[in-house]
A and B are shown apart, each in its own frame.
Chain A
Amino acid sequence: MDSFTVRKHYYPYVSPFDPCRPMQVKQYVTPPNLYINYQPPNLPQFTPREALRAGTLWKAFYDPYVSPYKQRE
């Protein structure tokens, strides 16, 4: 099984009469807290200053959203 990633994809149905260039695969990003049920104690943490920028204290929950479609333009 390849490496785990929070980025998932699916293949939408493309109609033969689709006027625009069809998107063969569409991606979406899932938040990390879906995969952590009950937060275990003593998870690795950011320093206070980093945590303020990152938006979370624990590295496991850091979730910078990078649009999967950015590289498409």
Chain B
Amino acid sequence: MAQKQLPKEFYKSMEELQAVDFVILELTLYLDTHPNDEQAIQQFNHMTQVKQHLMYQVEQYYGPLQQFGNSYSGSPWNWKDAPWPWQI
């Protein structure tokens, strides 16, 4: 039987999530050397909030993105189902 295919909306919000993740990564590295930059901290917190919302959205389509309590699980236990991150 054919594997489940991910809908188009998944790819759009996944790309947004990847973009937000990248911004958070850059800000993390920046804030390591600029601990007092209020504006960057504010942007970091805003981006974290956006990421939580986006992760919730992506996980509706994809299933758990992370494990060990960082993502809710579907039922049945589905973190191992296709597609894996490199397959999407």
Verify that A and B bind, or say they do not.
Answer: yes
Q: Footprint of B on A, CB under 8 Å?
A: 39, 41-42, 48-49, 51-52, 56-58
Interchain CA distance A48-B16 in the complex, whole Å: 8
Measured between beta carbons, the chain A residues less than 8 angstroms from B30 are 39, 57
Q: Footprint of A on B, CB under 8 Å?
A: 15-16, 18-20, 22-23, 26-27, 30, 33-34, 37, 39-40, 47
Nearest CB in chain B: distance from A14 CB, A: 44
Dominant SS among interface residues on chain B: helix
Measured between beta carbons, the chain B residues less than 8 angstroms from A42 are 39
Decide: B33 and A39 in contact? CB cutoff 8 A.
yes
Interchain CA distance A31-B33 in the complex, whole Å: 20
